[in-house]
Structure 1
Amino acid sequence: MSSLLAELSERARQLSPQERAQLAEGLLESLQELSSPEVDAAWDAEILKRIGEYERGEALLLPAVDVFAEARRLTQ
């Protein structure tokens, strides 16, 4: 991490939760410019594929509580 990034990170932690959320939202929005039409088209196709699998009953659906429990288990 560069010294500038470390300083910005430390200063951001001093903001209120609402201000940090606003900062995070602005930073994430600035990354949207990195998206490309090819990537967007690939995600659109993936979304449609998954919707089709769900509608045909082909998707393996898991309760969110189980997914998060497994994620916690794997990260410990």
Structure 2
Amino acid sequence: MTLSASELYEAGLALPPSVRKDMALRLLESVEDVDQESVDEAWTAEIGSRVDDLTSGKVQTIPGDEVFTRVAARLDAREAARNA
């Protein structure tokens, strides 16, 4: 007997949460078609490009303290707008 996708979904909902999680992860792994070598090559190229941008002066870094100050200010402004 073959189950339709919706029948399989409904049957899956009857399973305990830990089993559903395992099943979902296994199903996801079965459709992920990742060629790790090409992913690694793409990341290596991206990192090289970013390092080149930094060393050439094309981009400037921002000190961490300044980043956190800017983020805090934005969050405060959003919170103030919500409470207004």
Q: Give the TM-score, by structure 1 length.
A: 0.47
Larger relative contact order, structure 1 or 2 (CA cutoff 8 Å, min sep 6): 1
